[in-house]
Structure 1
């Protein structure tokens, strides 16, 4: 889905005043990030490490693992494609709705895909399975016990747990404690959402050495650039205080949801994180364009998520001022005749 994701601000010729379409942490300490990058700028005059070795060693140290248990990637998305390549042609279980890149990567590498609705979910056997915790786009939280049950029930199936948004969901339990007991587990971490560096592209994969080596064979040299390597190491060592303040964020989300649900024609869906789906009587493809043109507000049209339709959109919780901008704009929308 090269052009299907929500944050298409890059192709808008309208001044976007409030971007609800991206799940990236909106209130990051960007001055600190700029300072680190400025101090490392001379690194661009040399080739980066072929496999981001120093970053991999730092990840291993932070997670109390060995470097052979870690693989660095140009964002989490590269890792999804590497995994799909390593398992080319296999049978893959994909809960829906969920992040579209799992399906796209598996399609590229000719997987036999089985789609299982998240509602009333029942796991199935396969060679590979992707889950997102918390899930994008609806913020569903997978219990660690539920994940462990899948690992136990299907020991021959590799389970990929994408924890890209786990720093936005205080009730979500990381799966790292399961790594020691389950060689069929892979965990994907993104550093672009929680630290607000999506333009830099950085992520990493944790797993059993045998699985990591299977995937490593499909990597390319220098996929992680030198600035991403240096900033990644800085954030692993010093960035804990830069992570989202989830307590404050989710309190604001509760007020945001309450105000939105009071608008006729709009109903928010339960979510365990700062972003959530909204069901509406409107056609969200049209609604998105109206909000952008008339108010400079960008939402995520969710109609291209498998399992959803043109009556769903996704928003992230922003500042109180920007949340109110969206609430007031939606109040001005006439309820369509259906």
Structure 2
């Protein structure tokens, strides 16, 4: 990645390489979660259109993060490996064609922990990608019924330790993305979530829950060199830091059980280990809360583009305006705009 002096880098923009879209449609019969959005947003696949929107919005470099759905939600443990390799080869192709404009993030088959390690190593050492995407939970899907919705399992389980160890050894960060399907209802007796609650409010919860599992599950204690970039400004964590302090003390006092005595450092410090992006979609206060909690050095300009009605322009412009309006020095604004991610993933 060679963005020049003080480039603006979108550290969390999504992509669907053309060869991956073809493979995904072939594998699923063109029917998969958010397939309609993939079709409606050509910037996900069309690189030239993406470059146009980047130029219009003043973005010098996009870090290409695989778009949902997770490969394990549409394939069994063997098919997910094939899809992941196709995605990663496609992202590497785009980066190789435009090395000054793009950096790439790999996807991994989270339903196949051993293959996760192998594909991460291949993506970084052979393809030159700068890290990997993980989701807030792992879809548990029967191998013989790959298209049935399954219950997720947490990402702090011991089966994922070799993967986290490999990421730390390769010195590459992980991009953490929420995953909660419409088929997860909020109320008993209803087959699906209504009114987009699963996405609008469920995803920030899912992200926060995954962050909590990584912290309290000891992932950072076991892998102290691991770096994780949480989407959407860290979800609910900055907003609820006061609630955590009061209620953990409350329940520990009256239950007589210390929920955090197994951690090597205070849980609040461990939450601050996360890096987060600026994808608050224009909310200045939410962005300022994230900066206050995680610190300027742990905030990266990231927009969730191109998931809007204008092929990414709305996401990018709103995030830029919020960053410009935040109470920051110009030096800190520059660090968030590009300096922090350059430090994290290298030039």
Normalised by the length of structure 2, the TM-score is 0.24
Normalised by the length of structure 1, the TM-score is 0.25
Structure scoring higher RCO (CA < 8 A, sep ≥ 6) equals: 1
